[in-house]
Amino acid sequence: MRKKIIAGNWKMNKTIGEAVELANGIKLDLAACTEVDVVLCPPFTALKSVSDVVSETQIAVGAQNMSSEDEGAYTGEICHTMLKELFVRYVILGHSERREYYKENDFWINKKVLKALEKNLRPILCVGETLAQREANETEKVVEVQIREGLKDVPASAYTELVIAYEPVWAIGTGKTATAEQAQEVHAFIRGVVKDMVGAEAANAVRIQYGGSMKPANAEELLSQPDIDGGLIGGAALDATSFAAIVKAAL
Ligand code: PGA
């Protein structure tokens, strides 16, 4: 049985004070939650404060991006050592907003995934098609390339550590959720691609989250699908009550 994992992607929201308040609210409800992995991904500037709030709880902290390099002249970047110093355990990589606005491509995303794994950080690799790609029947083709390229050279043994997030771009922040059937179909497809790449054991072990307007009202149905192992939550993660309700839907 794969343990469900619910991660809150706070994106570019919350000052330190606001982040502490939100993390405290979530902690009140979920500090002792062991049945589901709970991860909070605040902006870089609030990582330390949020780590302090959730230290000594079961709640983990994740970053929203990471450099593929170890250190040096990379203005504006943050490396693994800096994240680990703040007790970060997970890192979201290849989010569609980074692919779209900052032109991140599969080559660099793969370098980041490999670096994160090498340094014992757990990547959450995001993949997903745009509306135009879905309408052109290209969903599987697009997602397969993102998986094959993004996870190139990742050994089968690492699939217990990494997480894949299937996030259809047309569902992110739009209020339009993929139906449970649409999501399940792509999740099963992704698991099949992983099986083809590294074998059945890794494919069975890897956790695949759904992301894209997941909220308390639709979480339970999505999370009850056989290949949906959790959620990457944007908007609904900015409210402690909503986020906690989604985690409870995963129980
Ligand atoms: P959303 O964002 O829940 O606001 O759609 C999800 C994400 O981008 O990770």
What are the tens digits of pLDDT across the range 213-234?
Answer: 999 999 999 999 999 999 999 9
- DSSP H helices, the chain, are 16-30, 47-54, 80-84, 96-101, 106-118, 131-135, 139-150, 180-198, 200-205, 216-223, 240-249
From the DSSP assignment, how many helices (H) and strands (E) are in the chain?
11, 8
The dihedral sign for the CA sequence 189, 106, 214, 28: positive
Q: Which of 224, 246, 226, 225 is nearest to 235 (CA)?
A: 246
Q: Which residues pair with 125 in a beta bridge?
A: 93, 164
Looking at ligand 1, which atom is closest to the CA of residue 235? 4
Among 97, 104, 129, 167, the one annotated catalytic: 167
Low-confidence ranges of the chain (pLDDT < 50): none
Domains of the chain listed by start with CATH number? 5-249 (3.20.20.70)
State the pLDDT at residue 114: 98
Q: What is the pLDDT of residue 193?
A: 98
Q: Which of 101, 210, 218, 232 to mutate to test the pocket of ligand 1 (most atoms within 8 A of CB)?
A: 232
Which among 235, 208, 230, 227 has a CA at the least distance from the CA of 219? 230
232 CB within 6 A, ligand 1 = yes
| Confidence (pLDDT) at 19 | 98
Tokens of 25: 């609210």
Residue type, 210: Y
Cα separation, 210 vs 228, whole angstroms: 6
Residue 138: per-residue pLDDT: 98
Distance 192 CA to ligand 1 centre (A): 24
pLDDT tens across 176-197, in order?
888 999 999 999 999 999 999 9
The contacts of residue 136 (CB under 8 Å, 6+ apart) are none
The Cβ-side half-sphere exposure at 185, using a 13 Å CA radius, reads 9
Per the CB < 8 A criterion, the answer to whether 176 and 170 are in contact is: yes
Q: Residue 223 has which token pair?
A: 């999370």
Could you tell me if the CB of 114 is within 6 A of ligand 1?
no
Contact 169 CB / ligand 1 (< 6 Å): no
Q: Residue 126 CA: which ligand 1 atom is closest?
A: 9
CB of 128 sitting under 6 A from ligand 1: no
Residues in the chain: 251
Q: Which residues pair with 93 in a beta bridge?
A: 125
pTM of the model: 0.98
Look at residue 100 in the predicted model and tell me its pLDDT.
97
